[in-house]
Amino acid sequence: MTTRTTEHSNLPLTLLSEDERLFRDSVYEFADREIRPHVRQMDETAHIPRELIARLFDLGVMGIEVPESFGGGGASFFHAVLAVEALSRVDPSIGVLVDVQNTLVINALLRWGTDDLKRRYLPKLAADTIGAYALSEAGSGSDAFALATRAPEQGDGFAITGRKLWITNGNEAGIFIVFANVKPEAGYRGITAFVVERGFEGFSVGKKEDKLGIRASSTCELLFEGCRIPRANVLGDVGKGYKVAIETLNEGRIGIGAQMIGLTRGALDHAIAYVKERTQFGKPIGEFQAVQHQIARAAMELDAARLSVYNAARLHDAGQPFLTEAAMCKLFSSEVAERVTSLAVNLFGGYGFVKDYPVEKLYRDAKIGQIYEGTSNLQLQTIAKQILG
């Protein structure tokens, strides 16, 4: 059964079950109480305190889909999307930390992991260990299968040599899903996914990037110098890593959509509160029709983006095809995020351009939504291919 529920700031109505609404609101209340006081400092220092990460584990949002038998929440993909949305409303850096953990790392292990891999790693991911997803390289961004990282067979396992770039959660992670080519002459059919532990010999975390936005979220390079991987740590079949990557990223794009709608909601919250308080020409600027129309359009676009994200997540949980919907929701929500955060900066006027007020950060945070986990052009290409057959 579904219930029509109102948002706190009287934004448009969205269908959620009572359980889903309570879950999303409880995560937001946690974020408002525990994360908001640290947002500016985390942005300035480009660091998430370990004690805050520990509280995320205690809250249960780091292992939402992990079965209860492995110490997780045993909930749905949709619940993971709601958590990312709620956290991103306060800080998109925390939202993407939780997003990668759930929609990429845990999802890949649940779908492709052997019973042994699940037994060894899912309890850790639910309890205290952060995961990262390492696909991108210097020459392999949008062209994800042009991997230069190699993993030839060596004894009873493999030896990874290469360099990964722009890896979210790289600084904090203890478990990494890494893609490398075991048979370069086979092209993309040599790509294989591996589960790598931070302590494996020959593996190290390199430079941490100094970014425009989502600064508290670490983005790092990973270095492999003959890193030995046991055969038991192959995720999926040897040579089928391309399938693991494609299908997992389709799910991850819904998570990025959730990050973007949460971010947008946060920016609109700030803008609505501000236009009610800021006076010009003897009255609050929210009483001017031009401002009202801009707020109305922003709320409309946010609601449409939210419904697009929710629809893609529902299709995923129902076992229905969602490739087109995932691309659409990621593309549209990232565009809405950029427009609405820009509007928020404009409505704040001079205050919107300084760091003492929160909207300039959300404006910076929004830009990455059109780049990572598939650029906007790639999403358009995916949508076009599906529509045109």
pLDDT in tens, 226-274: 999 999 999 999 999 999 999 999 999 999 999 999 999 999 999 999 9
Query: 8 falls in which pLDDT band (50, 70, 90)?
Result: very low
**What is the pLDDT, as a whole number, of residue 14?**
57
Decide if 169 contacts 100 (C-beta within 8 A). yes
Domain spanning 3-130, CATH class = mainly alpha
**Which active-site residues does the annotation give?**
373
pLDDT surpassing 90 at residue 154: yes
Helix axis angle, 241-277 to 77-88, nearest 10°: 40
Mean pLDDT of the chain: 95
pLDDT value at 13 more than 50: no
What was the pLDDT predicted at 5?
36
- Domain ranges in the chain with CATH number 2.40.110.10: 132-239
> In the predicted model, is pLDDT for residue 127 greater than 80?
yes
Q: What does DSSP say about strands 283-284 and 279-280: parallel, antiparallel, or unpaired? A: antiparallel
Q: What residues does CATH 1.20.140.10 cover in the chain? A: 243-388
pLDDT at 316: 97
Give start-end residues of each CATH 1.10.540.10 domain in the chain: 3-130
Q: State the pLDDT at residue 77.
A: 98
DSSP 56-108: HHHHTTTSSSS-GGGTS----HHHHHHHHHHHHTT-HHHHHHHHIIIIIIIHH
Q: How far apart are CA 233 and CA 190, in angstroms?
A: 16
CATH number of 243-388: 1.20.140.10
Does the domain spanning 132-239 belong to CATH 2.40.110.10? yes
User: In sequence order, what are the beta bridge partners of 197?
Assistant: 175
Report the alpha-carbon angle 171-173-174, nearest 5.
130
